Structure 1
Amino acid sequence: MTECAIYRARERIDVEGDISDTLDEALLSDDRAFCWIDLHEPTETEFDLASSELNLHPLAVEDAVEAHQRPKLERYGDVLLVVLKTLSYDRANTDVRTGELMLFIGRSYVITVRHGDVDPLGQVRRRLDKDPTLIDFGPSAVLYGVIDAVVDRYVDIVDEVHAAVTDLEERVFVSTRGPVAEDIYALKREVLEIHNAVDPLVPVVSSIVTGESVRVAPEALPFFRDVADHVMLVDSRVDSLNELLPQVLAAHLAQVGVQQNDDARRITAWAAIFAMPTMIAGIYGMNFDVMPELRWAFGYPMAIFAMVAVCTVLFVMFRRSRWL
């Protein structure tokens, strides 16, 4: 347990003790108070206390302990389970790392379970401390703050990935050398990681805004609508990157094809140029006693002159046709 606090009367009260004590105090508080308990990668034994106190559904407990869930929203009786994907981006290695964040939301409590190294919850706590009016929303304040912090991180990562795609485009059109294709495939794989985190989140946030699965305080709806707009914006940008990367790869392959054709034409042109001296030397290298110009004093200079002249003419012709 990394955080345990009760929010009451627009103030945060840190609580010392186990989960049971915190939940009891929160449940006995007034309707406007709620507790927030944060757990980081708990084992099944460590999560048993919370699950037994709140009578959580076994499937919800399994999701919290095992992780590896896609973003979703499910209701188990009076408990709402929201699953989010957290992301971090290592631009040096072009690597998107994923984690998971689960929220168990009840009438007077929020339990967050984190898997992975990314921790957006500190930002949410600071925001609640800075703007205590959000606490009036109850547990919905934590739900909004967490989704907003996660989506803001999505925006930053998409900006960084877009910059990486722009760099790839420049590399494709400036130079076809280097492992461009491998980098495109690697970046495509990371964009898919982002897509798997963002795309399933769109219906989750939409269901919250429309009230299909959970009722939030009316005052909180504009905040959730703002988050929904950001999620859909990020989702559209990720779709654009998914469409752009194959086009970058196609442009790279086209560039490689053009370069190979140019190389083949150069090789053919130089082969034709060197073939002519070889032919002349081969003719005059035959071992016959009777041959024209065989004993002519100017025969050797004329053969050399003919080689140079033919090579020069061929070189000029290939140069004009841009084969060289």
Structure 2
Amino acid sequence: MIRGVGLYCDGTVRPDGVVPIEVGTTFDDDDARVLASLWLEAKEAGPDSFVWLGLRNVEHAELTRAADVLGLDELLVEDALSVTQRAKVEVDGDRVTAVFKILGYVEETSDVETGQIAVFVGPSFVLSVRMGEPGDLRDMRSRLEGDFELLQAGPLAVLHGILDVVVDGYISVAEELGVDIEQIEEQVFSPERTDDAATIYKLKRENLELRRAVEPLTPVADALVRGRLIPIPEVLGPYYRDLGDHLLRAADLSTQHDNLLGAALEASRSRQAVQQNEDMRKISAWVAIAAIPTAIAAIYGMNFDDMPELRWDLGYPAVMIVIFSGMFALYRAFKRSGWL
């Protein structure tokens, strides 16, 4: 589905009504011919002019049409459509291929929703392909279209804008997971007896989604901070360096979360072991106390004729006193030792 299209020349955007590609429709052969015409117009307008086509949840045939127009390799098409593709940034001459995981936090269920966006940047064109729900770019497109200085920087301004949305999503998810981890830590060390292992495992799985998205981009972040990844226009230099810093921060947060969750899981297991040990001690103490009347009753239940005290008038009271005295003595001993 076509999510957006624009022709940007000399820092201005061509009015939507003039671009004869309808948003919200399937990218067909007619759209491919229009895209070729717009791309030619952008190349003729100058190096800072470009056409940006945004697609979302497209079929293979749709993306292939756009790739044929822009001269993209079939393998790149496969990467853009594969939701299991590892995040990466590749530079080949004047072309940049970037695949990012997009993350969103679902407040109701504390789940991390994962999507993907592939961005192809070349001479006078940008093609973005988004798969999944997270990562709406409409607000970013509107902000970019209102910034004359950034638009003049060319296609790399779009790449920065998309990466900015993606990285902001990483930071937001990392902060939300941090709140969840603080809550689970309070539960683990609360006086109430709780089984938090399942919740901790779930949080570790959600944090794993963050790590899978961020860790492959750590070298990219370092290169962005040092300005060694791609030739970046001077006006975009500070923006890309800031993105690199945010990526590294997201990577650090994901590592910290994993360490905290591991420690919380160990603490939960240790606490469960202590609780089980306390339960076993209590059970053992009560079994020992109950063994006194059980043993005496078993002896006198054997029904031998010559057993002592069977015909003694005070035999029953004496036995009961012995039973309760022994039970009380054991109870006090276990209570003092902390078993009860």
Query: TM class by shorter-chain length?
Result: over 0.9
Q: CA deviation at 1:209?
A: 4.4
2:24 is the alignment partner of 1:2: no
Q: CA deviation at 1:237?
A: 0.7
Q: For the Cα contact (< 8 Å) 1:86–1:98, is it kept in 2?
A: yes
Q: For the Cα contact (< 8 Å) 1:140–1:216, is it kept in 2?
A: yes
Give the aligned residue type for 1:295: R
Give the aligned residue type for 1:323: W
Aligned to 2:99: 83
Give the aligned residue type for 2:20: E
Give the aligned residue type for 2:159: L
2:109 is the alignment partner of 1:93: yes
* Distance in 1 (alpha carbons) for counterparts of 2:288 and 2:80: 72
* Distance in 2 (alpha carbons) for counterparts of 1:9 and 1:77: 24
Give the aligned residue type for 2:222: S
Aligned to 1:105: 121
2:194 is the alignment partner of 1:177: yes
Q: CA deviation at 1:69?
A: 1.6
Within the candidate set 2, 17, 20, 1:16 is matched to: 20
2:290 is the alignment partner of 1:285: no
What is the DSSP-based 3-state SS (H/G/I as helix, E as strand, rest coil) of the residue aligned with 1:150?
Answer: helix
Most deviating of 149-158 and 91-100: 91-100
Q: For the Cα contact (< 8 Å) 2:225–2:242, is it kept in 1?
A: no
- CA offsets, 1:54-95, max 9 Å, x none? 222232233223453211111344321111110122243342
Aligned to 2:283: 267
Within the candidate set 152, 161, 176, 1:136 is matched to: 152
Q: CA deviation at 1:190?
A: 1.5
RMSD: 1.9
Give the aligned residue type for 1:123: D
Most deviating of 111-120 and 8-17: 8-17
* Distance in 2 (alpha carbons) for counterparts of 1:209 and 1:48: 34
Give the aligned residue type for 1:169: E
Runs of 5+ unmatched residues, structure 2:
22-30
Q: CA deviation at 1:35?
A: 1.7
* Distance in 2 (alpha carbons) for counterparts of 1:47 and 1:290: 101
Aligned to 2:269: 253
Q: For the Cα contact (< 8 Å) 1:4–1:16, is it kept in 2?
A: no
After superposition, the Cα gap between the structure-2 partners of 1:291 and 1:140, relative to the gap in structure 1 and judged at 3 Å, is same
Q: For the Cα contact (< 8 Å) 2:224–2:244, is it kept in 1?
A: no
Most deviating of 302-311 and 126-135: 126-135
Which residues in structure 2 correspond to 1:37-76 (within 5 Å)?
A: 37-76=53-92
What is the DSSP-based 3-state SS (H/G/I as helix, E as strand, rest coil) of the residue aligned with 2:97?
Answer: strand
- CA offsets, 1:225-253, max 9 Å, x none? 11111110110010011111111111111
After superposition, the Cα gap between the structure-2 partners of 1:305 and 1:209, relative to the gap in structure 1 and judged at 3 Å, is closer
TM-score by length of 2: 0.89
2:338 is the alignment partner of 1:322: yes
Q: CA deviation at 1:157?
A: 0.6
Query: Displaced runs of 4+ in structure 1, greater than 4 A?
Result: none
What is the DSSP-based 3-state SS (H/G/I as helix, E as strand, rest coil) of the residue aligned with 1:297?
Answer: coil
Q: How many residues align?
A: 323
Give the aligned residue type for 2:50: F
Runs of 5+ unmatched residues, structure 1:
none
Most deviating of 223-232 and 161-170: 161-170
Which residues in structure 2 correspond to 1:150-229 (within 5 Å)?
A: 150-174=166-190, 175-178=192-195, 180-229=196-245
TM-score by length of 1: 0.93
After superposition, the Cα gap between the structure-2 partners of 1:12 and 1:176, relative to the gap in structure 1 and judged at 3 Å, is farther
After superposition, the Cα gap between the structure-2 partners of 1:208 and 1:290, relative to the gap in structure 1 and judged at 3 Å, is closer
